[in-house]
Structures are given as C-alpha cells and as structure tokens.
Amino acid sequence: MITRFAPSPTGHLHLGHVFAAQVAFERAQENGGEFLLRFEDIDHTRVREEFYDAIEEDLQWLGIHWQQKPWRQRERLPQYADALEILKSQGMVYPCFCSRKEIERELAELANAPQGPEGPLYPGTCRNISATDVSWKMQQREPAWRLDTRKAGQKLTFHDRLHGTIAVDPTLLGDVVLARKDIDTSYHLAVVVDDHAQNISLVTRGEDLLPSTHIHRILQDLLNFEEPDYEHHQLIRDETGERLAKRNRSLSIANLRQKGKSASEVLKMIAD
C-alpha cells in the first residue's frame, strides 16, 4: 500500500491537516506500506517558500515521516502538459475563453443556472464554439481548457472504504477546468497524474473532496490509469461547526507548539 499527504505550502498546518496526514500515515503503517509527502504548489501566486520547511518540520515533530523526497508539483508541469495533450487528441477537452466575470454575468441571466455541490456550475458557454471562432479567439487571448463531460459516456464507479461503491456522475461538477490560463494545469489533472506516477493505491482525503473523485475517475479512465482505492474521511471542525482553514491560526500547529503543547497532546486533540 502507498498513501500520500499533499498539503499546499500557502500557510501553516492546522489540526485538520494533521488529521488528514495522520490517517494516510496510519493506513500505510497498518499495511506495511509507504507514506509519501507531496506539495500541491501549482498556484504560484499563493505559495510561500518558508512554508515548505514549516510543513515538514511540523510533521516530523508529530512523528509523521515519509520514505521519499517530497514532490513539488510545479516541477512537474511537463507531465501535466503531456496528459492534457492526450485528452486533446481524444477530443475530451475544449478551449474556454470566458473570464470569471463573464461566467458570473451569464449565470445571473439564466433562469435555471446549473448547480453543483458548492454552487453554480459553468454553463457551457464555449462548448460549441466553431473551429473558425476558436482559431480567431486563440489569437486574442490564452484559453483555459475544460473537460467535456458530455462525452464521458462510459459508466464508471469507484470504491470508498467509508461510503461504499459509488457510481460516477459526470455532470456533478460540470465541465471543470483542467488547465488554467495562468498555470497550465489544475488540481484535478495534476493530482490524477501524480497519484498514477507515484503508484498511490489508497487515496485518503477529506469528505469535502468526494465530489472531485467523480472527475478523477473519468480522467483515470481516459488516461488509462489504474484505479486506486479511496477513503474520504470526516473533517475537523471548529466550535461553530465550520471546517478548519488556514485562517484558524489559533489552531495551527506552529501556534500550538509556541503555547507549549506536546506532540502527543496535539494528536490527542484530533483523536477527541
């Protein structure tokens, strides 16, 4: 078994991160497997160099260790570009020239805007642009590339250790972006390519990412990647019931360490 923890170096780890890391670490240990650390740092506008070391230091302090040198996604952009080219050759992606404001305006004008688990979905504005218009628009601006979920016809499933076997719904998140205009890839594409490249056999992550797995299974199928097992676990929440975020600085591991908490005390906080 090979598991991974993949934080973004955009801030200090908080208790929610520790819970996710601990689940992945324990599953690998329980099965005599391997635990890997990967940095999801493709969004270079938010990444800070000091947080790479801070994350590694916090994990080691907690007794969570990894077996290989941590990967940095921004060093793997050529691999993501190769995967995107395969999807282009299959006709499974299309260029999108819409700005965020243009999408918001169109959604506001629709009587029944498409909805997903987290709000309105992309309405498909650029899905049927003619080849002539695409060529002209390409000269004006760089497009994003979206997955054409209408073409994901094969019935797929994935297995989650907590939620059972789930049928893939291609429409759940709509035509998601697979390559952003400014970054040339996206979370969805990068994570699928990296999980395959690192032979991840069990993907553990928060239940808030369960909808994303529908997209990931489609991409795995299109790219002829093996299907990992999944465990979408509960989230650590604050006293108001909101899931923890990096804005919860009082519950960051760095802050708890400064207050004199021991590693065992911090781990007990997530166990409770």
**Residue 36 CB neighbour total at 10 angstroms:** 22
Residues whose CB is less than 8 angstroms from the CB of residue 84 and which lie 6 or more positions away in sequence, other chains included: 93, 145, 178, 179, 184, 185, 189
C-alpha span between 99 and 211 (Å, rounded): 24
Kindly report, as residue ranges, where domains of CATH 3.40.50.620 are found in the chain.
1-75+237-272, 76-199+207-227
Q: How far apart, in whole angstroms, are the C-alpha atoms of residue 225 and residue 205?
A: 19
Q: What is the DSSP letter of 153?
A: -
**Phi, psi for residue 176 in degrees, rounded to 5:** -70, 155
CA distance 261 to 124: 50
Superfamily of 76-199+207-227 according to CATH: HUPs (3.40.50.620)
Using the CB atoms, write b or e for 174-195: b if 16+ within 10 Å. bbbbbbbeebbbbbbbbbbbbb
Q: Which CATH code is given to the segment(s) 1-75+237-272? A: 3.40.50.620
Answering whether pTM is above 0.85, one says: yes
Which tokens sit at 69?
């040198």
Full pLDDT tens readout for the chain, 272 residues: 999 999 999 999 999 999 999 999 999 999 999 999 999 999 988 999 999 999 999 999 999 999 899 999 999 999 999 999 999 999 999 999 998 899 989 888 887 788 898 889 999 999 989 888 888 888 888 999 999 999 987 899 999 999 999 999 999 999 999 999 888 999 999 999 999 999 999 999 999 999 999 999 999 999 999 999 999 999 987 665 566 555 555 578 999 999 999 999 999 988 76
